[in-house]
Every structure is written in C-alpha cells, then in structure tokens.
C-alpha cells in the first residue's frame, strides 16, 4: 500500500507559503474593483463575497494541499472538509464545488478515484454538490476544492468586525500539525494520529449551525497560519488587541510532548517568524504551548468573536472541545498578549 504522506515533504496546510512571503506579494498587487465585490483578498478573509441583488451574497473560496493522511479516501475527506470550512467561517452555506487535482502519471489511478470519492462523501454530508474540476499531471499529489456558497448581508461574517470586549471561542482542538509531523517521522502513537485525523475529517458544519443561533461579530477558521496568525489578522483588521489565556486552550494531549521533542512542522517556524514580535508571552507560558499556538492547522476550528453571554451559551450548547480562550481589547502595546 502507498502511504501518501511519505510521498510529500509537507502535509496539509503546513504546505502554505509563509505569511510574510504571501503578504509581500499580495500587497504589491493592484486591487481589482467591482461595485458588487464586498470582500476581496485585501482583508485576509477566508473567501470572496459578491453581492447578487442587494441582499443575497455569493461566497467563493479555493483550497488544496499535499496529502495529510495515508489513506487516499481519508485524504479526500480532509481536503474537502478543509475547503468547505472557509465558507462556514464566512457565515455561508456551501452549495457547489469543483475538484482541483495534481496527480503523478505513474501512480495507480485507483488512488485518484478514492481521493475523489472521499471528497464526494464529505461534500454530500455538507449538502454540497461537486460538479467537475481540473486535473494535471504532477510529481506530487495535491488535492482540494473550489467552493461556492451563499449567505445574506445580515448573516455574513468577516474577520474585521470584532468589537472591544468580544470573547473568542474556538471549536476544535489544536496541535494537528505537530501530530502530523510526528506521524511522518513514525514517532506518534496510532491513537493520537487517529484522533487528529478524526478532527480534520470533521466538518465545521455543526459549529456553523450552532453559531447561527447567536450574534457573531467576526469569524475566521484556524488553518495554516496558526491560531496566533489568524487572530493577528482579526485584531489588525479591527484595530484591536487580543488577550489570550493559554491555560484555556483545547489541544491534543500528545502535542506538548511531541513539541518538546522538536517534532514541529516547518510552517510553525514561518508563522513564528512572521508575527512573534507582535505577541507578548508571559514568562509562565511554556515553549511547547507557544509552539502549539504557532502550529499550522489543517481543517482546524472556527474562531468566533461574540459577547460573553453568547459565548458561554454557545460553549454549553456545542459542548467539547469548544472553549473560550480570550477576548478582544482596546489596542495596547502588543497586538496579542498571552498569559
């Protein structure tokens, strides 16, 4: 059996270009404007948003990456769940998708079929139809989806609308990048790898549907740029700061020890390099916990900003592993302060 993760250098969202590199390129491009384009790439949101008729909005995103699971079917599931999450993070319901596949011409085509079947089943679970796509020959497998969905102006969530005093909630455990790195080095327990895989395969559909019952002020999902990277984007967009309680973070129990062993994905170092000077860590926060906060996530949690009352109610209703991890404050000396 071909173990897909052994065929690639980096897995999942850890394969993203470093934030610093990407921002340098994007900031140098002229903006393409359209009076109906409500959200583009300039605010680091999870998807573009286009006004259809003054009330209804079209939301589109694309995401693909190298294998993060050894089984082709499970890789397809994770890749689909990850791509669909961008729309949930915008308050949109995904409806249509197209496959994006890079595939080695020398590899058994049954592997491609199983990847596509995994994606189809996850899309079906989301109520989304995959209706086509594009495939090219490449030396490394890469797969994902271009996804289209819909929402309304009243329901739209962006990453720039957090308010001072808002509480921050995340809906999945952190640390999957560290576990995936350990798995590639054959230094992770099978039960830990399975737990991380189950999390990555889990749609953010329930988190989205539960959040729709509350007044969400801002939202994103935590993926390759890490918890701290995505919170930094939210704070910058809203001209606020973030205060985090490291003891409240939900993470996989194996992640701290694996981080202490140095089993940290390259993307975590890129994330740390990009924003470490914007983050103040209390001396009591262990290095391995900061590693988890910089860890690139694949198909990670939704990150929601809402009032404290709504946050407490959301966490009770949604259940574990959802957790309140901090709040937005007036802009202070550091963009993010971690205690």
Active-site residues: which are they? 13
Selection from 178, 129, 190, 124 nearest residue 12 by Cα: 178
- Give the pair of three-digit tokens for residue 43: 């605010």
Rounded to whole angstroms, how far apart are CA atoms 318 and 184?
Answer: 32
Q: Yes or no: say if 322 and 217 are a contact pair by the CB < 8 Å rule.
A: no
Q: Please tell me the total number of residues recorded for the chain in this structure.
A: 339
CA dist., res. 166 & res. 228, Å (int): 17
220: nearest Cα among 125, 328, 317: 328
Phi-psi label, residue 194: left if phi above 0, alpha if psi -120 to 50, beta otherwise: alpha
Q: For strand 336-338 and strand 279-281, is the pairing parallel, antiparallel, or unpaired?
A: parallel
> Who contacts 314 (Cβ-Cβ below 8 Å, separation ≥6)?
169, 210, 211, 213, 214, 304, 306, 322
CA 292 – CA 226 distance, rounded (Å): 8
Q: What angle do CA 204, 206, 210 make, to 5 degrees?
A: 120
Measured CA to CA in angstroms, residue 25 lies from 20, 29, 32, 140 at distances of: 9, 7, 15, 25
């Amino acid at each position: 059996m071909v173990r897909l993760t052994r065929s690639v250098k980096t897995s999942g969202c850890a394969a993203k270009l470093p934030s610093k590199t990407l921002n340098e390129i994007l900031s140098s491009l002229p903006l393409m404007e359209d009076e109906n384009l409500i959200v583009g790439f300039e605010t680091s949101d999870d998807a573009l948003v286009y006004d259809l008729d003054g009330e209804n909005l079209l939301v589109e995103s694309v995401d693909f990456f190298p294998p993060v699971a050894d089984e082709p079917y499970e890789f397809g599931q994770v890749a689909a769940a990850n791509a669909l999450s961008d729309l949930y993070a915008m308050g949109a319901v995904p409806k249509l998708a197209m496959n994006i596949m890079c595939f080695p011409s020398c590899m058994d085509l049954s592997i491609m079929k199983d990847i596509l079947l995994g994606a189809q089943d996850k899309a079906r679970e989301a109520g989304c139809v995959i209706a086509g796509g594009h495939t090219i020959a490449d030396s490394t497998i890469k797969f994902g989806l271009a996804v289209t969905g819909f929402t309304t102006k009243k329901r739209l969530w962006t990453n720039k609308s957090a308010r001072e005093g808002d509480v921050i909630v995340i809906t999945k455990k952190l640390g999957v990048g560290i576990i995936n790195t350990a798995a590639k080095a054959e230094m992770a327990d099978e039960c830990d790898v399975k737990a991380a895989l189950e999390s990555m395969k889990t749609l953010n559909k329930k988190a989205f549907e539960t959040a729709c019952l509350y007044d969400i002020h801002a939202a994103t999902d935590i993926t390759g740029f890490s918890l701290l990277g995505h919170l930094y984007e939210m704070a910058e967009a809203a001209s606020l700061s973030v205060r985090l309680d490291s003891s409240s973070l939900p993470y996989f129990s194996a992640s701290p020890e694996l981080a202490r062993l140095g089993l940290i994905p390259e993307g975590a170092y890129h994330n740390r390099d990009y924003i470490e000077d914007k983050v103040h860590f209390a001396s009591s926060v262990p290095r391995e916990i900061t590693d988890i906060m910089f860890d690139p996530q694949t198909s990670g949690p939704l990150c929601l900003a809402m009032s404290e009352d709504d946050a407490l109610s959301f966490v009770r209703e949604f259940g574990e592993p959802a957790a309140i991890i901090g709040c937005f404050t007036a802009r202070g000396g550091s963009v993010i302060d971690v205690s």
